[in-house]
Structure 1
Amino acid sequence: MMLKKYYGQLRFAGRLDVVVKHAGLYGLLLALIWLTAGCANGQQLQGQTGSLPVKPSGPSPVEKITPAERNVYDWVVIGAREEVARGVIYDASYRQVKYPGGDVPPESGACTDVVIRAFRFAGIDLQQLIHEDMRENFELYPQLWGLPGPDTNIDHRRVPNQMKFFARHGQALPLLVQGEDLLTWQWGDVVYWRFANGLEHCGIISDRKNLHGVPLAIHNAGVAREEDCLTRWEITGHFRYPPVSE
């Protein structure tokens, strides 16, 4: 019973009775990493990750750029990587946060919080930007939660709202990761996926690549990690913000 109570507090996705019966405490802790997942849309993902995080062998391309020479996309990558360094655990709970500049506890967050914190590291507050746009154009945003108006506590933490904002104010880019389209994927871009179970996910494109030249992604689907997962799920969005023309 104690295991079940602890398990519930960790907001596990999946069958509690099966995990407790067959895994034991050690398996339970492993499941926290491999089975817990989700986005801040009120639902949990179900075991969508599978590869190990990247173990860097040296400075990445962005890390070799001096701070004075880094652009906004460089800082976005560095900010996203901070989530990995802190070992942020997934938690999509609704919380009251201040506005602007509000955030959930730093040791926790959803996939969308990786994006929010990465851009804040680059001096861009998506909480404020998304709220201001929703306040003026609420009817243009997804009406999925039965709200009469914007909510500064959660709007920016929802995948559909982020996608709508970037589609309106960012640069929409190709979704394919092959041929010439592969060249359109640059570090600091934001990627959105749909899992096989229909739930949505997001992350930041890394400056590191696999042996085939496909960039890695920094995301949180249980625990924040940087890994080779860009083509693992259906890609539904690829954006650059701010647009390169600005």
Structure 2
Amino acid sequence: MNKTILIVDDEKEIRELLRLYIEKDGYSVIQAENGLEALKQAAFARIDLAVIDIMMPELDGYQLIKGLRERSNLPIIIVSAKTENHEKILGLDLGADDYVTKPFDPLEVTARIKAQLRRYDGGAADSEAALLTAGELCMDVSACTLSFGSGTIPLTATEFNMMKLFMQSPGRVYTKQQIYEAAWQEAAIVDDNTVMVAISKLRGKLPGDGAVSIGTVRGLGYRLEVRI
């Protein structure tokens, strides 16, 4: 099925530039000039991935991400002129899966779109187990869900991939580079803060009793720890 990409930016020139490159790769495109219009589009159309600016009228990108995350775990890529590190951290913390700063190379954006869609759709190879467990955590790889007891833990696409990596080998230590490449499905090209922020948010979603947690191995990386 053809994928549909939602482009949200108040600058028509940027929307059109991205549209040309994205459609060239065979995707369909829906455009919105602000966050409010984007939420309306998402309510009536099947969206596979969203490319979102931050500074927009009506409803800014941060509020839009919150609104989308309430109804979907679709991949979200921020494309923004905000280059400060704390802005990137905020965007990722709210649920974005990737962050590209303006001015950008449209080929880089389309490459990141492909990577996010591969990761989101390609979850499990045929040889992988359909279910992964760690303590009372259970991941259904095919359905892209993580549950604890009778409840479901909502995850973004990036968080799901990170958690899948950890649950495939509980106790194994993974470096930040390994985690980034598994979660974002591309070579590690960002600073350590990206992985640290993502791990911090993922930790906040795990059960609070500490039975299953993500531990830090100083100087090496992170591992999934299961208390017996």
Q: Could you say whether these structures have the same fold, taking a TM-score greater than 0.5 normalized by the shorter chain as the test?
A: no
Q: Which has the higher contact order (CA 8 A, sep 6+)?
A: 1
Name the TM-score, length of structure 1 as normaliser: 0.30
Name the TM-score, length of structure 2 as normaliser: 0.32
